[in-house]
């Protein structure tokens, strides 16, 4: 969603020089869709082959129900979540310059809204970007039913355990999309972020509802239509040519073996 690397005008000279060195060391870039392939070409100092293979990290999202259940139990035990509760995961990304004034999600109000919407007990976990690790640990108090999920080491396992995801501009929402579970964009600084970093495409082009304040998010939750949302995800993935199917790792292993065999 958010621009990276060469697509950002304000990257520091030190960062750019190191990124260019990284790009020279690449033999293949992997991506998950035809649309992302175009963005990859814009974002790296690289003119080699880009494989629309799907992301190996996303294979776990296509694992069987038993494996997903085991992962969910593992996450719940780590975070101390009651097995009868649903899990909301809030995953905001960082801001250049360390700005944190944009993180204004009303945790308890949003949690209550979801509980009333789905008529069940729920908890909310916050998963901040590593650049905001101190913010997650020092500047937030965690009342009952709100927890710090930033300390959990694997975002993919958190996504599998989550029943709902809320984010601003994190790409994790596109990973979570493969599970076809409810996801919401909560972004209070869209115009400022567009000026500071920029987007590859308008947020409105995604299947996700957009809220710029807590009132709008409450409204989006209350009006969420699961069937319509699932249909939008299917259309979005077809339109953009997503390759993820649970077999990306196999395709990359086959490529590695092919390269090794060709070199004797």
In a domain, 218, yes or no: yes
pLDDT at 97: 78
Residues 121, 15, single domain; the answer is: no
Q: What is the DSSP string of 145-189?
A: TEEE-TT-S-HHHHHHH-SEEEESS-THHHHHGGGT--EEEE-S-
User: Do 26 and 144 have their domain in common?
Assistant: no
CB-CB contact of 91 with 175 (8 Å): no
The total number of structural domains that make up the chain: 2
pLDDT grade for 139, boundaries at 50, 70 and 90: low
| Domain co-membership, 14 together with 79 | no
Same domain, 24 and 145: no
Q: Spell out a b/e string for 184-211, using b for 16 or more CB atoms within 10 Å of the CB, else e.
A: bbbbbbbeebeebbeebeebeebbbbbb
Whether 164 is covered by a domain: the verdict is yes
Q: Which tokens belong to 42? A: 């814009």
Q: Which of 13-22, 32-41, 222-231, 241-250 has the lowest mean pLDDT?
A: 13-22
Rounded to 5 degrees, what angle do the CA atoms 199, 202, 207 make? 120
- Is residue 263, in this structure, part of any structural domain at all? no
Question: Residue 245 in contact with residue 62, Cβ under 8 Å?
Answer: yes
Residue 253's nearest CA partner among 13, 35, 51 is 51
CA-wise closest residue to 27 among 46, 52, 42 = 46
Phi and psi torsions of 107, nearest 5° = -55, -50
Instruction: Answer whether residue 258 shows pLDDT above 90.
Output: yes
Q: Is residue 110 within 8 Å of 184, Cβ to Cβ?
A: no
Band (94; pLDDT cuts 50, 70, 90) = confident
Cα-based torsion angle of the residue sequence 197, 202, 205, 211 in order, rounded to the nearest 10 degrees: 80
pLDDT tens by residue, 98-134: 788 888 999 999 999 999 999 999 999 999 887 777 7
**Band of the pLDDT at 10, cuts 50, 70, 90?**
low
Which tens digit of pLDDT belongs to each residue from 216-249?
Answer: 999 999 999 999 999 999 999 999 999 999 999 9
Q: Same domain for 32 and 74? A: no
* Whether residue 230 is found in the same domain as residue 118: yes
């Amino acid at each position: 969603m958010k621009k990276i690397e060469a697509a950002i005008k304000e990257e520091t000279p030190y960062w750019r020089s190191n990124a260019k060195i990284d790009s020279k060391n690449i033999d293949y870039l992997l991506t998950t869709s035809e649309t992302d392939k175009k963005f990859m070409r814009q974002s790296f100092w690289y003119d080699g082959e880009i494989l629309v293979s799907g992301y190996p990290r996303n294979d776990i999202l296509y694992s069987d129900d038993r494996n997903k259940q085991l992962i969910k139990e593992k996450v719940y035990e780590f975070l101390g979540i009651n097995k009868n509760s649903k899990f909301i995961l809030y995953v905001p990304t960082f801001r250049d310059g360390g700005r944190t004034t944009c993180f204004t999600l009303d945790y308890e109000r949003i949690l209550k809204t979801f509980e009333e919407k789905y008529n069940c007990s729920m908890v909310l976990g916050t998963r901040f970007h590593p650049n905001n690790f101190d913010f997650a640990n020092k500047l937030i108090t965690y009342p009952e039913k709100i927890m710090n999920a930033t300390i959990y080491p694997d975002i993919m396992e958190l996504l599998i355990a989550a029943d709902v995801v809320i984010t601003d501009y994190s790409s994790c929402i596109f990973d979570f999309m493969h599970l076809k579970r409810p996801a919401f964009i909560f972004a209070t600084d869209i115009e400022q972020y567009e000026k500071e970093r920029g987007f590859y495409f308008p947020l409105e082009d995604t299947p996700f509802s957009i809220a710029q304040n807590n009132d709008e998010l409450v409204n989006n939750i209350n009006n969420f239509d699961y069937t319509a949302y699932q249909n939008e995800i299917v259309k979005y993935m077809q339109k953009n040519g997503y390759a993820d199917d649970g077999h990306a790792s196999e395709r990359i292993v086959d490529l590695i073996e092919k390269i090794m065999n060709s070199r004797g």
